[in-house]
């Protein structure tokens, strides 16, 4: 199975992707992780990524699609979880074309729906827990920075819900439930 996890920052996509990796043997394709790995890989693509990032520029969709293609070529018996990609409609089109080229399909797009106020609470709680445990607090784990990330999400990424709904791929899960209840809801969607 190949799935996309959608949802605002802090909705629990990373947590649920981790569970799917553990329970279903899926490979999580997190664009952030892929970019960091490519940057330090020394490959031709990695050198491109490093040059763009070192110049303080955003990595192009073309580069990200290239990284995803490299991962798809490695294969996965459990399928892939696209986490943090696509973020825009052009990226969704590009991913669809890439999957078709590889003879793969997109089996589900699961949106974790979470209330905005609850998201801010989750982010503040995550920062407080990290600080209490003596761990570094993520720079984006404060209400002000988070509000900007949320605004950016609604502007660029939220249109994907309509895009995938029109294609008949979109499923929604109440992300306000416990982590276990969200896990179980995703599992039953994937069984169907």
Tally the residues of the chain: 192
Active site residue 39: no
- Any residues with CB less than 8 A from the CB of 155 and at least 6 apart, and which? none
What angle do the packed helices 89-101 and 159-166 form, to 10 degrees? 40
- Active-site residue among 24, 102, 126, 156? 126
- Any residues with CB less than 8 A from the CB of 58 and at least 6 apart, and which? 52
Give the dihedral sign, CA 52/56/58/64. Answer: positive
- Active-site residue among 24, 87, 102, 156? 87
Active site residue 87: yes
DSSP collapsed to 3 states, 61-111: HHHHHHHHHHHHHHCCCCCEEEECCCCCHHHHHHHHHHHHHCCCCCCEEEE
- Any residues with CB less than 8 A from the CB of 185 and at least 6 apart, and which? 173, 174, 177
Active site residue 126: yes
Q: For the CA atoms of 59, 65, 70, 74, what is the dihedral angle to 10 degrees? A: 130
- Active-site residue among 36, 101, 125, 138? 138
- Cα within 13 Å of Cα(110), Cβ side: 30
Residues marked active site are found at: 13, 87, 126, 138, 149
């Amino acid at each position: 199975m190949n799935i996309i996890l959608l949802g605002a920052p802090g909705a629990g996509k990373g947590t649920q992707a981790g569970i799917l990796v553990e329970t279903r043997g899926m490979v999580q394709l997190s664009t952030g992780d892929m970019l960091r790995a490519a940057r330090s890989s020394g490959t031709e693509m990695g050198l491109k990524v490093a040059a763009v990032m070192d110049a303080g520029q955003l990595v192009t969709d073309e580069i990200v699609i290239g990284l995803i293609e490299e991962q798809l070529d490695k294969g996965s018996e459990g399928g892939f979880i696209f986490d943090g990609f696509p973020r825009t409609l052009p990226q969704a089109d590009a991913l669809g074309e890439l999957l078709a080229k590889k003879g793969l399909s997109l089996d589900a797009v699961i949106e974790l729906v979470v209330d905005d106020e609850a998201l801010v609470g989750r982010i503040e709680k995550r920062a407080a827990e990290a600080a209490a445990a003596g761990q570094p607090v993520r720079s984006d784990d404060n209400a002000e920075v988070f509000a900007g990330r949320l605004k950016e999400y609604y502007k660029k990424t939220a249109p994907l819900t309509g895009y995938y709904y029109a294609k008949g791929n979109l499923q929604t899960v109440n992300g306000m439930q416990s982590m276990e209840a969200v896990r179980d809801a995703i599992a039953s969607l994937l069984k169907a």
